[in-house]
Structure 1
Amino acid sequence: MSDSLLGLDEPPQPRDSVYRVLARKYRPQTFAELIGQDAMVQTLGNAIRRDRLAHAFLLTGVRGVGKTSTARLIAKALNCIGPDGQGGPTIDPCGVCEPCRAIAEGRHIDVIEMDAASHTGVDDVREIIDASRYSAVSARYKIYIIDEVHMLSKNAFNALLKTLEEPPGHVKFLFATTEVQKVPVTVLSRCQRFDLRRIPAEKLAAHFGEVVEKEGAEAEPEALAMIARAAEGSARDGLSILDQAIAHAGMEGGAVTADAVRDMLGLSDRNAIRDLFDRIIAADAPGALAGLRGQYDLGVDPQAVLKSLLETVHRVTLAKLGNEVIPGQAEEERAALVEWAAKLGFPALHRLWQLLLKGHDEVIRAALPIEACEMALLRVIHASSLPDPGELARKIAEGAPMGGPAPAATPAAPAEPPAPRNMAEVVERLVAAHEEHLAARVRNLVRPIRLEEPVVEVSSQGIPADLVHDFESALRRVLGKRWSLRVTDAPGQPTLNEERAAQEAAERDAVLKSPVVAAALEAFPDAELIGWTRDNRRFG
């Protein structure tokens, strides 16, 4: 077998002579250090403890989630002999025995790593097949780690199939790939597959905090959260960004700050994006274009501005649904999301999302990106001033005029409408204001507690978060701005629909017990009460 397969083509270097980047320095050496892959670790641990080890493993996932690191950890786990030299396979390799240290340093003769991107041919695979027939030199298992296995040629895969299906007992294959869909099904069916997940941003931020502390540096929590979000689930990408940020902070003589990370990554300033979003929903075209140009002059890519606006719309939608805020979110941003969520309905948010997404795609392909971005924002602003499609359909159904000059004056609504006395009257006001869908939801889901002007108090039992926002907004539109909705944990009264069902059941019971109906049912046992009228007790 060639030296390149054995990893012997690089001359040894003194450990302390070359700086190691953070992504290599903090590569996990135990399964406990492997973050975000708890399900896989548990499965592997159970397999090792029960001696149910597969002969081939396929590790798949996006870049930087730990595929190659996991393969090396599995190699250590299978070949560890413990500090006393008497141990067996374990999910917690000791890290001090000779096999553990040799595998960690990449010099174990029985753990062969091959990069399929540079060894794609059938001849490279034949070397593995021929060598796999011989027992391990000093380890319990001879292990082949093939990275980016999807890049092997079709002939190379075919040559590997027989050995992969019935390998010698002393051989284990560990494959890693970012594009599992390119691996032939015949290979997939012969492997035990593990899908490594993207690492959640909050776990990445916590991990980066530990790394910063070990490096003797300092970093703002918001800066770490920004790096974690920019990493998109990849620990390696995040550590590379952190490495650069620490170097930048060292040159400036201070901690890693959110502003420095934002400048380094070319991210849009959150305050500027909030101001831009405010101007868009307020249909302030000149102000929105000035804000966009200001970001562009600072070096922010127009595509990044639209991406930040899309993220804002998404977060507003989640806030409207009552979802928790993201880690590292500033208090002023949280307050802005709550305000926008109360102001914007779901149809408006969906329309904003579609328009911004279309603009984002146009900017990617545009010959003039900033001009395309300006036109996209103007289209969004113009659309925000158009009537809601549902409102437009209602006006058409009512025969209201759709065009022409606006009337000289619109009759003002009464400043002090009579206060409703109960929830039934509140629902009647909603129906009169053409809020039929909301009225139906209130009848079905809202349990009133009390109504004392100007507060409607209801129970939190069974009421969705979006209904709370929509109901309170409708109350202020229909009854006046001073009215508010209060939601408490008290059990509340039955809903209006439950009250009506109970009343109808009571009336039916009274009808069945009346002498005339009772006598009729006795005379005609097969008869059935199908209806009645309340006036004069006439029955059907």
Structure 2
Amino acid sequence: MSYQVLARKWRPKSFDTLIGQESAVQAIANALDQNRLHHAYLFNGTRGIGKTTIARILAKSLNCEKGISSKPCLTCSTCQEIDVGRYVDLIELDAASNTGVDNMIDLLENAQYAPSSGRFKVYIIDEVHMLSKSAFNAMLKTLEEPPEHVKFILATTEPQKVPITVLSRCLQFNLKQMTSENIANHLSGILTEEKIASDDSAIRIIAKAANGSMRDALSILDQAIAYSSEKISAEKVTQMLGTIEDGILFDIIRHLIDKNGRGLTEIARGMDEKNTSFDDALNGLAKLIHELTVCKIIPGQYDDSSKKALYNEFSEKLTGETLQLFYQISINGRKDLHLAPDPATGFSMTLLRMLAFYPSSTSTHDKVDHSPKPAIKIPEKKSLIPDATEKNIAAKAMLSNTPDQDPVKANQTVSRNFDGNWSLLVSQLKTGVAKTLAQECQFLSYKDSTFHLSLDEKKTYLSKNDFIQKLEEQLINHFNKKLKLEITIDSVSTSPAIEKRTEKAALLKHAESAIMQDNFVKELISDFDAEIVPSSIEPIKKEK
């Protein structure tokens, strides 16, 4: 007996053995058991998810010799002939190769005759969206009021191309893609029945590569069986498909954290030698970054995963901003991959871009002490004085506070003094979340190298540890000495942001007053009934 491919050999023969379409199966089964039969059905969905299979099972349920039921017997001559494709009252039409109106007219003329042996004459029209407009128009009347012995089952991958007049005459079922878990479980059962050894990881790779299509999964499994001599292993499946292993993706993240550019280029070179799909690699990298982001924002989300330890390790070492940056670079790198000189170069440049834009302060976040107060990170830049220690810095700070210090020598010290002008200090900070936080804070006091600030209750979204830590880093870099920052949530009477808004309001009021007093403006209002639009007034600061 000749070999039969797995997709045909293991095609479900009843609703009980169908995988992944529970909602559609339940509706059809209930209609069959209650004898509430529609004359036309439309199944839509992507390839390989069971549209034609459900249509054939429905045809068996309608014509089974044991009676109309959601559970055909599978043993009578009708069920067996439908399984092998020889049943005379089941007519399957491929609309892709029979698109014309003449084909439809022939079909409809035969529909008026009674079935030869079954209860119903069932017409399965696959890829119905390929029919011409004239063919659709020809079938409308029959589709709306067909003979009692005729059932139409339409299948399409693009329902938006089917005329609305046809859709309104059919009972529609949107079939969904299979989950990787359902596909993997089904493939494992088939391999057990076929007595073929395999690795669970290999099955997961195949299920993932199928993209929700069971038929694609079975075709890939057929290929894997032929490619593997004895056992289907993850390594052989990866080589066969040209996909990337999860371990390589984790290695990429690890090299990014370690800022190991050489390691990243070696990974890209090794993938090129194995003919790995770089498009799939960037897609997998984006998915991994998404999973790390979820793990960071929602702790415990992947506690049941076998990769829990790696997820927790990497999510702790990478900030949310860095993960967002990596995600954007990966999806943009994938989008621009076809513009690169070759895929390997485009992939390598994407990784190097991630490394180039990796925030310098991120790599040391895991080294700070996680205490109730926000941790302080000493900047990596070396002091202007060689081998300066904390004691030296503290001593210089004490010297700078003495009133009789020589101004020339003071300019040569590493640290600066705070003169109490918080607004001026904030204006000198770099633009970003740290400066935004500082602008909304009210200065309370500065004592023992500690800034005591107050933040309004309405601005608590700025009190995240990451924001406070970045503000501390900017203050440390500005004063070149070790500082602390304490922020309390309380009412705020003044802050740089409030002062700026007050100043802007005063300037705007002065500008409005000046315009209203202008003689030319008064003439326009008097002679032409002109009106002043307040929102159009913009005060202009005079250059000093």
- Aligned positions of 1:219-230 closer than 5 A: 219-230=198-209
One-letter amino acid of the structure 2 residue matched with residue 239 of structure 1: L
Report what 2:511 is aligned to.
none
Task: Check 1:228–1:69 CA distance in 2 against 1; reply closer, same or farther (3 A cut).
Answer: same
Change in CA separation of 1:34 and 1:435 when aligned onto 2, cut-off 3 Å: farther
Alignment of 1:36-435 (within 5 A): 36-82=20-66, 88-249=67-228, 251=229, 254-320=230-296, 321-322=298-299, 324-325=301-302, 331=306, 333-385=307-359, 408=384
The amino acid across from 1:79 in the alignment is N
Q: 1:210 offset after TM fit, Å?
A: 0.6
- Asked whether the 8 Å contact 1:117–1:152 carries over to 2, the reply is yes
- 8 Å CA contact 1:58, 1:175 repeated in 2: yes
Q: 1:358 to 1:73 in 2, by over 3 A?
A: same
CA distance in 1, matches of 2:112, 2:186: 42
SS of 1:107 mapped into structure 2: coil
Give me the whole-angstrom Cα distance separating, in 2, the residues matched to 1:323 and 1:67.
38
C-alpha displacement at 1:298, in angstroms? 2.2
CA contact (8 A) 2:242 2:275 kept: yes
What is the DSSP-based 3-state SS (H/G/I as helix, E as strand, rest coil) of the residue aligned with 1:384?
A: coil
Deviations 1:483-539 (A, max 9, x none): xxxxxxxxxxxxx99xx9xxxxxxxxxxxxxxxxxxxxxxxxxxxxxxxxxxxxxxx
User: How many Å separate the matches in 1 of 2:451 and 2:193?
Assistant: 63
Counterpart code for 1:163: T
Partner Cα distance (1:73, 1:279) in 2 = 53
Q: Any stretches of 5+ residues in structure 1 without a counterpart?
A: 1-15, 83-87, 389-404, 415-429, 444-469, 480-495, 501-540
User: Could you list the per-position Cα deviations for residues 85-110 of structure 1 after superposition, in whole angstroms to 9, with x for gaps in the alignment?
Assistant: xxx21111110112111111111111
The letter of the residue matching 1:236 is R
Deviations 1:331-369 (A, max 9, x none): 4x4321111122223322222111111101111343422
CA contact (8 A) 1:143 1:172 kept: yes
Larger Rg: 2
Cα distance in 2, alignment partners of residues 50 and 222 from structure 1: 44
SS at match of 2:178: coil
Q: Distance in 1 between matches of 2:224 and 2:358?
A: 40
Q: Distance in 2 between matches of 1:336 and 1:438?
A: 37
Q: Is the 8 A contact 1:309 1:356 kept in 2?
A: yes
State the distance in 1 between where 2:177 and 2:191 align: 22
| Runs of 4+ with deviation above 6 angstroms | 430-439, 473-479
Cα gap change, 1:110/1:284 in structure 2, threshold over 3 Å: closer, same or farther? same
Q: TM-score, normalised by structure 1?
A: 0.68
Distance 1:100 1:224 in 2: 32
Shift of residue 436, structure 1, vs aligned partner? 9.1
* Partner amino acid, structure 1, of 2:53: S
Gapped regions of structure 2 (runs ≥ 5) = 363-380, 394-449, 473-487, 492-544
| Identity over aligned pairs, percent | 38
Q: CA RMSD in A?
A: 3.5
CA contact (8 A) 2:49 2:212 kept: yes
Where do 1:472-491 residues align within 5 Å? none
Whether contact under 8 Å (1:303, 1:364) holds in the other structure is no
| 1: CA distance, partners of 2:94 / 2:323 | 47
- So what's the TM-score if we normalise by structure 2? 0.67
Letter of the 1:341 partner, please give it.
Answer: S
Task: Give the residue type in structure 1 aligned to 2:238.
Answer: R
| Cα distance in 2, alignment partners of residues 318 and 202 from structure 1 | 20
Shift of 1:47: 1.0
Q: Does 1:26 align with 2:5?
A: no
